[in-house]
Amino acid sequence: MLQIALCDDNIDELSNMVQLIDLYRTSKNLNCEYRVFSNGFELISDIEKGKRFDIYCLDIVMPGFTGIDVAREIRSVDKVAPILFFTSSPEFALQSYSVRAINYVLKPVTKEKFFFTFDEVLEHIKREEDEDFIIVKSSEGIQKILIPNLVFAEVIGRNVRYHLNSAKVIECTESFASACDNLMKYGCFIKPHRSYLVNMRYVDTIENNRVTLQTLSTVPVAQGRAREIKLQYLNYQMEGE
């Protein structure tokens, strides 16, 4: 069941959003619940207590905490949940990109505009769900890593570092054994060395002492394991054909 947060300091606008969500979930037979917040403080308080929502619908111009402020708090703990801005002012559109909002909708919010927007966000959620992924907890908060975007993982001390194809590195304090268990089930990973796990989609060449990736990164191969790693990679390529 989808959990939706609605936040707007204008009671009439909040009431309109509630009516539109009720219409939408009836029309689309959508299994969802929503919670309303009349200001950003209330929503942030819930977030600080550990409450999470699948979709956030925020007004921008609110006293105290603006919608942008609230979105930043959300992004500090949740990097992936869709954020929708519903606002009377177009001037904050650029700022909305800084918190990776999925849409920016100008008021008045009509039924047609709302239905179109929610159709888009639910399609976005469905596409995300269809992708293989893992959820990790880093110093930046809870993050979703799509398997096709993960190049390799390594352990340094007590930290696991996930290297993405965007060159971003997500660092987490967790057991490397646990990370390996989570990733190996996807069938596209090899472990050339006790401290490294490599996504075979990104392998360029395998030599006796290292694996070179398409991102130009290199990963060591443990002594005596080159033949085994090459066979695993060959089997992966043959299965792909």
According to CATH, the superfamily of the domain at 2-130 is: Response regulator (3.40.50.2300)
Q: How far apart are CA 155 and CA 143, in angstroms?
A: 18
* pLDDT tens profile 155-174: 999 999 999 998 999 999 99
Task: Check residue 240 and give its pLDDT.
Answer: 59
Pair 154, 160: CB distance under 8 Å: yes
In this structure, what token pair is assigned to residue 207?
């030599």
Using alpha carbons, list the distances in angstroms from residue 195 to 157, 191, 212: 10, 8, 16
Task: Check residue 127 and give its pLDDT.
Answer: 76
Pair 146, 181: CB distance under 8 Å: no
Q: How far apart are CA 100 and CA 68, in angstroms?
A: 11
* pLDDT tens profile 126-149: 877 667 889 998 988 888 899 989
Of the chain, the percentage scoring pLDDT greater than 70 comes to: 98
* Nearest residue to 24 via CA among 110, 127, 148, 108: 110
Of residues 64 and 207, more confidence is placed in 207
CATH class as words, domain 133-240: mainly beta
Strand partners, 32: 2
Pair 68, 97: CB distance under 8 Å: no
Of the chain, the percentage scoring pLDDT greater than 90 comes to: 73
What confidence tier does 241 reach under pLDDT thresholds 50, 70, 90? Answer: very low
* pLDDT tens profile 60-74: 999 988 999 999 999
The mean per-residue pLDDT over the stretch 97-108 comes to: 90
What confidence tier does 2 reach under pLDDT thresholds 50, 70, 90? Answer: very high
Task: Check residue 130 and give its pLDDT.
Answer: 63
Pair 186, 147: CB distance under 8 Å: yes
Q: How far apart are CA 197 and CA 203, in angstroms?
A: 12
Q: How far apart are CA 88 and CA 104, in angstroms?
A: 10
Strand partners, 198: 152, 190
Domain boundaries, the chain: 2-130, 133-240
The mean per-residue pLDDT over the stretch 74-99 comes to: 86
pTM for this entry = 0.60
pLDDT averaged over the chain? Answer: 92
* pLDDT tens profile 13-60: 999 999 999 999 999 999 999 999 999 999 999 998 888 899 999 999
Q: Give yes or no for residue 110 having a pLDDT over 70.
A: yes
Q: How far apart are CA 145 and CA 183, in angstroms?
A: 11
Q: How far apart are CA 78 and CA 141, in angstroms?
A: 6
Of residues 129 and 95, more confidence is placed in 95
